[in-house]
Amino acid sequence: LRNYKSGKFLLWHKSKMANESKKVVKIAWFGKYFWEEPALIGNKEQGTGSIFFSGCNLHCVFCQNYQISQEGLGKFYSIEDLVNIILRLQKQGVVSIDLVTPTIWWQSIKQALILARKRGLKVPVIWNSNAYEDVFALKKMEGLVDVYLPDFKYGDDKIAWHYSRARDYSSIAFKAIKEMFSQVGLLKIGKDSIAKKGLIVRHLVLPHNVENSMRVLDLLAKISKDIHISLMSQYFPVYKAKEYPEINRRVTQEEFEKVLDYACSLGFRYGWFQEETDDSLFPDFQRKNPFREVISNFDHR
C-alpha cells in the first residue's frame, strides 16, 4: 500500500415494486468523472463514465452525497434513456462505466446493461455500492458487472445502526462481498493500467472509530488478503454529522495511520490509500457540474 493522493430489506421490496411498475431509474448526474482509483479512470483525458443514481438503502448521517441519497435530488429516466447514456459515455472515450449507488435500481439497471451490451458496450462496468446488498440480486447481475467496488463501511453492527440505520450490516455486507468475489475474483489490470475485472473493496475511516475499521479488515481477510483495498481518509462532517459530537471532526493522521498499519499487519498487499481531501471539493448536485476539480487524489501500488 502506498500513498497516492429500518428493516433489513424493506427498501429492496419497495425498489422491486417501483422497477416492475415504472421501469425507470432516477439519476442525479452523469458524465466523465476523475475521482476514483487510478485503475478505474485512465488518464486525464479519459476518465470513467459515472452515473450517480438517486436514493440509497442506507441513511448515513455523514453522507457527502446527501442531496441525492437522502433528499432525492435527480430526474427520472427510462431504461432506453439509460442505455443511451451508457453508450454516449463510451463514445466520449471513457475507460469504464461507473454505476454509483445503483442498489435500489438493480432490476432496471440489469435490463439496461443487457441492451447496452447488445448495442456495443465494450468497456468494463463498475458496480459502485455501499455493500448493503441482497445476494439474490447480486447473482442476477453476474456476467453484467466487471468490477465490483463496494464500500465496506462497518464491522460493528451497533455503529452501523447508530450512523446509518442499517440492521445486521456487517453480516449482510460480508455475504455480499463474498458473492462479488466469487463472481469476478481478484482485480485484473491490463497493460494499459486499466482494471478489466475483479473486486476492489473500499473503506472510509471514521473519526473515533479505529476499532470499527479494524473489524472491517478482519472480515475482509477471511475472504482473501490479496484483495485490492482502498482506504479512504476523505471523511468530513457534513449533513447531520454535527449532531454526533464524536464524528463532528476530520479523521486524524494518527487514526488513519493506525488503520493503514493494521491492514499491512494482516497481510494486505495491494491497493490504495487516500491523501487528505479539501472539503471544498465535495460535490454540490444543485450545480450543473457538481464537481469543481477533475484530479484524483489517490496513489497506488
pLDDT interval class at 18 (50, 70, 90) = very low
Q: Quick one: which of 101, 172, 162, 164 has its CA closest to 130? A: 101
Q: Quick one: which of 100, 128, 130 has its CA closest to 216? A: 130
Query: Which of 136-145, 219-228, 244-253, 272-281 is predicted with the least confidence, judged by mean pLDDT?
Result: 272-281
Average pLDDT for 242-255: 96
pLDDT for the residue numbered 273: 87
Whole-structure pTM value: 0.88
The Cα 246–Cα 258 span in angstroms is 18
Average pLDDT for 236-247: 95
pLDDT for the residue numbered 284: 67
Which are the contacts of 31, defined by CB distance < 8 A and separation ≥ 6?
49, 50, 89, 289
pLDDT interval class at 44 (50, 70, 90) = confident
- Annotate the chain with three-state secondary structure: CCEECCCCCHHHHHHHHHHHHHCEEEEEEEEEECCCCHHHHCCCCCCEEEEEECCCCCCCCCCCCHHHHCCCCCEEEEHHHHHHHHHHHHHCCCCCEEEECCHHHHHHHHHHHHHHHHCCCCCCEEEEECCCCCHHHHHHCCCCCCEEEEECCCCCHHHHHHHHCCCCHHHHHHHHHHHHHHHHCCCEECCCCCEEEEEEEEEECCCCCHHHHHHHHHHHHHHCCCCEEEEECCCCCCCCHHHCHHHCCCCCHHHHHHHHHHHHHHCCCCEEEECCCCHHHCCCCCCCCCCCCCCCCEEEC
Q: Which residue has the higher pLDDT, 121 or 288?
A: 121
pLDDT for the residue numbered 283: 74
Q: Tell me: the pLDDT tens digits for 262-294?
A: 999 999 999 998 766 555 457 766 666 766 654
Residue 167 has pLDDT above 80, yes or no: yes
pLDDT interval class at 73 (50, 70, 90) = confident
Q: What is the mean pLDDT of the chain?
A: 88
Average pLDDT for 220-235: 96
Residue 99 has pLDDT above 90, yes or no: yes
Residue 53 has pLDDT above 70, yes or no: yes
Class of residue 105 by CB neighbours under 10 A (exposed 0-12, middle 13-18, buried 19+):
buried
Residue 67 has pLDDT above 50, yes or no: yes
Average pLDDT for 103-109: 96
Residue 69 has pLDDT above 70, yes or no: yes
pLDDT for the residue numbered 19: 46
Residue boundaries of the structural domains of the chain: 10-300
Residue 298 has pLDDT above 80, yes or no: no
Residue 5 has pLDDT above 90, yes or no: no
Residue 14 has pLDDT above 50, yes or no: no
CA 65, 67, 72, 74: dihedral to nearest 10 degrees?
Answer: -90
Average pLDDT for 31-59: 92
Q: Class assignment of domain 10-300?
A: alpha beta
pLDDT interval class at 161 (50, 70, 90) = very high
Among 6-15, 66-75, 131-140, 284-293, top mean pLDDT goes to 131-140
Residue 43 has pLDDT above 50, yes or no: yes
pLDDT for the residue numbered 289: 72
Average pLDDT for 175-182: 99
